[in-house]
Chains A and B, each alone.
Chain A
Amino acid sequence: MGGTAIRIGIAYDLKTDYQGIAPSTGPDDLLEEYDSPETVEAIADALGECGHIPVRLGGGRAFLERMLAEPVDLVFNTAEGWGTRSREAQVPALCELLHIPYTHSGSLTLAISLDKAMTKRIASANGIRTPEFVCVEDLEELDAVALPTFPLMVKLAGEGSSMGIGSRSRCANIRELQEAAAELLRQYSGAVIIERFLPGVEVTVLVMGNGAARVVGMMEIAPRLGSIREFVYSLEVKRNYRSRVEYHAPPRLSGPAIAAIAETALETYCAMACRDIARVDIRIDADGTASLIEVNPLPGLHPEDGDVPIMCRHLGIPYARLIGEIVAHAEARL
């Protein structure tokens, strides 16, 4: 990287910060979005390796107070925020108000991306292909809407990190859909989206940079057992990824298919005004076309289990280089 050493504050929200606040009776993945201490330590170590001075700032109120007391040169943002649909905008908003540059996307991009329905609508207005869907807030609404054709995926509209996604998220008929939707609406707050299930290959794409953003790599996520035609990259599968999935980077796809995926990922990154880094999830439809599933401009960076670090291992990119590159892109805003 070179350059001079700067003080980089890490903004993060640990699972343990919220265990006292989250209802103990809720589903076991209610805190899935939040960081583990290993992630914060890994980022701090990587920043140190790149010659910077890491400062642990935490999130929310603690972050604000530490920033007011002693500002840093740059904030490395992995904070999910708490409590609202705009939660991921909280740390970027504070940085904007305090005039401290920060890594990753701006507040509006982060808040929009957390809402899968809003993201799909904005993407489709930009000409980006994404599976047909409906968004419902209760079961009566489900009875009233015109559904896309089965099989369908049912997911929480406003949660990341595969929260609420399980083997029953793929519904072959109306009975399965009603049960799965009822379960999500009962256990979580907020709307659910019901989208056409795409039977093709699932690929996650790492895009980085600004101005001349580029696809750094892509990784196919394939089931170890069973057919891709029914495969759901659920939270359970993700938590047991070593035994349940095979990762292929690059994906086992033809040149034109890879090019189509890269194009969709880059278009999404630009349309959503992502900065520095984002992970774009894409799935192939029955007709071979690439469709946007979601974009994650604040992708998980757990050094072992995060999809982006896993991909980087396959691509031979050391963790410290990944972190260093995020910082290098953000440093252009210093």
Chain B
Amino acid sequence: MKRVAVLYNDDGDLLTKGASDDRLAWDGGPAVGREVAGALERRGFRAYEVPCGSEIKSLVDRLERLNPDIVFNVCESFEGESRLEAEVASLLEVLRIPFAGNDPLALGIAHDKARCKELLKGCGLPVAEWRVFSAGTLTADLAGLAPPFIVKPRCEDGSHGLTARSVCNSTDEALAMAAETSAIWRQDCLIEEFLPGREFNVGVLFKNLVLPPSEIAYELPAGLPNLVTFEAKWVRGSVYDRGTPVRIPAENVAERLAEQLRSLALAAWRALGCRDYARIDLRLDAAGDPRILEVNPNPDISPDAGLARAAEKAGIPYDELIAGIADCAFARAGGR
């Protein structure tokens, strides 16, 4: 029987920054690990849930003892630090254990939103214009950028640091918000032109199977900006949770737009050299043309998260999705 270690982040008490509510997002690790392991077991694999917490030696020893054929890597952080996500993947490379999920380079680039935007722009792909607000000098030159702006931490995932106040209508407001955000998150911020149009998520699977787009169908009270805030993602029943239903698949998407979304998602996937699974977020600009917001090479892959639901609607049930991703890693392992 093929043996798979499902590696997930377990860092409940390790949170060192952000606001107190930000803890909510980190409780997701063990739950995802359990779901993935369950799906693998149902598909005839022998699955082991392996937490990745704060200690390398015990993790290495555990993997050594298990000696799995592959690791299914859904680990998003180490010691509560999402910046170490790619480093955990590098550890698997050093241990020479083939793994499902994206490689350190794709994870590293996507995690640094400025780097990712530079790469996409350098590939000639459309992104929202942006500047980096330096946490060192507490400045950014916003010349050439038009309001409204959105301010986000440069290197955080899962909508951390995003609230209704992240959308700013003037340069002064954006700079003040960036100073506040960079102090809380102890890092640079991105100040980006806030795109006014519809928002889509496009999943890409396996080698390069593009799923139909999903849409965040904003229904927020007047005065609140259309944005997937931290609250929208993690606080059940909150105003933002209720106001950001996801349509899977998206409705009323003209054929031309569908094709644009599809080809941009695939181009972004290729630009980072993604594999196995990723989710690409896009938004329409004032002219109605899609631009790439973010690439998520390690998106939430629980059954109730967007990617798995989009796959299901496209005819790939959860267990098949998970087994298919594992098979990608087995194919690479065989080719070594």
Contacts and interface: CB of A to CB of B under 8 A. Distances in A.
A108 B115 contact: yes
A126 B117 CA distance: 11
Nearest to A68: B57
Interface in A95-152: 96-98, 107-108, 111-112, 115, 118, 120-126
B118 A122 contact: yes
A64 B56 CA distance: 10
Interface in B76-121: 78, 84, 86-91, 93-96, 103-105, 108-109, 112, 115, 117-119, 121
Most A C-beta atoms less than 10 A away, residue of B78, B105, B115: B105
Contacts of A93: 86-87, 89-91, 94, 104
B143 to A, nearest CB: 14
A125 B104 contact: no
Nearest to B121: A125
A122 B123 CA distance: 9
A99 to B, nearest CB: 9
B223 interface: no
> Chain B, interface size: which category?
20 to 34
A83 B90 CA distance: 11
A121 B118 CA distance: 8
Contacts of A126: 118
Contacts of B90: 86, 89-90, 92-94, 107
Contacts of B94: 60-61, 63-64, 81, 90, 93-94
Given A61-B94, A98-B56, A108-B112, A84 B86 contact: no
B78 A107 contact: no
Tell me the dominant secondary structure on chain B's binding face: helix
Contacts of A121: 118-119, 122-123, 271
B273 interface: yes
Contacts of A252: none
A125 B118 contact: yes
A93 to B, nearest CB: 3
Determine which residue in B87, B112, B115, B117 has the highest number of CB atoms from chain A within 10 A of its CB, and name it.
Answer: B87
Interface in A38-95: 60-61, 63-64, 68, 81, 83-87, 89-90, 92-94
Contacts of A124: 122
Interface string A16-27: 000000000000
B99 to A, nearest CB: 11
Given A64-B94, A97-B56, A108 B108 contact: yes
Contacts of B86: 86, 89, 93, 107-108
A330 B187 CA distance: 20
B55 to A, nearest CB: 10
A205 to B, nearest CB: 22
A112 B109 contact: yes
A96 B81 CA distance: 11
Nearest to B83: A96
In this complex, the member of A84, A87, A89, A92 whose beta carbon has the largest number of chain B beta carbons within 10 angstroms is A89
Contacts of B56: 68, 94, 97-98
Interface in A242-279: none
Contacts of B60: 64, 68
A107 B93 CA distance: 13
A287 to B, nearest CB: 22
A98 B91 CA distance: 11
Contacts of B109: 108, 112
A30 to B, nearest CB: 16
A104 B112 CA distance: 19
Given A86-B103, A122-B115, 9 more contacts: A81-B93, A83-B93, A87-B93, A89-B86, A89-B104, A90-B90, A90-B94, A93-B91, A121-B123
17 contacts: A60-B94, A61-B95, A64-B94, A85-B103, A86-B90, A89-B86, A89-B108, A93-B94, A94-B87, A94-B91, A96-B84, A107-B87, A107-B104, A112-B108, A121-B119, A121-B122, A122-B122
Listed from nearest, the 4 A-B pairs whose CB atoms lie closest are A121-B122, A93-B90, A93-B87, A86-B104
